[in-house]
A and B are shown apart, each in its own frame.
Chain A
Amino acid sequence: MTDAIDEATGLVPGDALFALRRQRPDFVTGAELCRHALLTPADDQGLAPPLRLALARRMAALNADGPLTATYDAALDTAGARDDLTQLAAGKIPLPGPLRAMALHCDRVTRDNRSASEADIAALAAASLSTPQIIALSELIAFVNYQCRVTAGLRLLKD
């Protein structure tokens, strides 16, 4: 069975790299469990799955990961995301409010983690994000960036 990383890397059963990934079954199942915990959690902390998908799509695009971006586009489509989320997913800067604060944080931590500071966390709290929401957002950002590094690395081994 293929998973999200196979799809974004272009791997199918029978490929040598598909088999090589399965030599580390804990990496494969672990990443899938994380994907569920970040994109479709049992307790979403008030950050609903379509919002999470929109942010994930935004960050996959910032990482120039075309296949992963396309995967998130398709999932957003299925989720029936509304206008503000499709704009968010497309990289637009939303009007002041929680969506804007989250978008700016995703952009900074994805593009230049080094530059993040206490002011960025304060900005999320000022936009009325709770501490559990700030943690869930931080994990989501980090997860998508993880996915992008795994897919970018594996693609180099594909040929």
Chain B
Amino acid sequence: MLPKIRIRTLVWHPYVTPIDLARATPAQLEAMKVTPSSTKVSPYVRTLAHDPESYVTRTVLFNAIMYAQGGLPRCDRELGALGASVVNGCAYCAMIHGQRLAQLTHSDDALSALWYRRYDLLSARDAAIWHFARALSAAPPAAGPHHVAALRQAGLSDAEIVDLIHAIAIFGWANRLMHTLGHSEPTSGAPPARTSGQGRKER
């Protein structure tokens, strides 16, 4: 039995100045789906809405991929998202999607196994998803036929693998925004940590 890990909650701060809602253009307000009197629009949204067109189209695609009905179970999509986020060094995304994985599975076992690199403790399905997510996220992508064979062996249908590919790919996208346009730090306590990589979790 591995020691339990605790995922520390992080808060994200942009490197660029987010949109001031009072000065936003109609296109920016439309993209954020807010009125000038709204106050609860996250800094992430107000940063990306500087380019309203890409913000809207990406958000629609992201939601389609991560919340699509049927097909690959949500927890498997979250595991794929986590694998991408670890490869791409996005601490914030890894924190959020590690937490979602734990919530959806009602267990910290997979997270503990990943944190301690005890891949032998993962289920065959989780291990196949994890290794595929990491390989596909490499640059250039390094996933091969043996990764797909392992996914099929673990019971994933090709339709489910299509869902998984998209979850991993859309996180390669999200990670390249969140990690490059800002940094995350713990909500309280420790001084700002601008490290990338796996510093999101603590024992």
Contacts and interface: CB of A to CB of B under 8 A. Distances in A.
A48 interface: no
A132 B50 contact: yes
Contacts of A78: none
Given A115-B196, A132-B51, A139-B177, A154 B162 contact: yes
A36 B61 CA distance: 13
Interface residues of B, number: 59
A149 B137 contact: yes
DSSP majority for the B interface? helix
B97 interface: no
Given A24-B163, A135-B48, A156-B148, A41 B54 contact: yes
B161 interface: yes
A132 B71 CA distance: 37
Interface stretch (B99-107, B115-123, B178-186): B178-186
Contacts of A140: 54
Contacts of A17: 158
B54 A139 contact: yes
Contact of A141 (B15, B48, B176): B176
Interface in B146-164: 147-148, 158-159, 161-164
Interface stretch (B2-10, B32-40, B165-173): B165-173
Contacts of B180: 109, 113, 116, 120-121, 138
Given A113-B89, A131-B16, A27 B65 contact: yes
Interface string A123-159: 0010000011011101111110110111011101100
Given A138-B181, A149-B172, A157-B162, A42 B53 contact: yes
Given A113-B180, A139-B51, A145 B194 contact: no
B88 A114 contact: yes
Interface string A42-74: 110100000000000000001111000000000
Given A64-B141, A146-B170, A154-B165, 8 more contacts: A34-B54, A34-B61, A145-B139, A150-B169, A152-B143, A153-B161, A153-B168, A156-B147
Closest 9 CB pairs between A and B? Answer: A114-B89, A153-B165, A30-B61, A26-B64, A149-B169, A152-B141, A64-B140, A142-B176, A139-B54
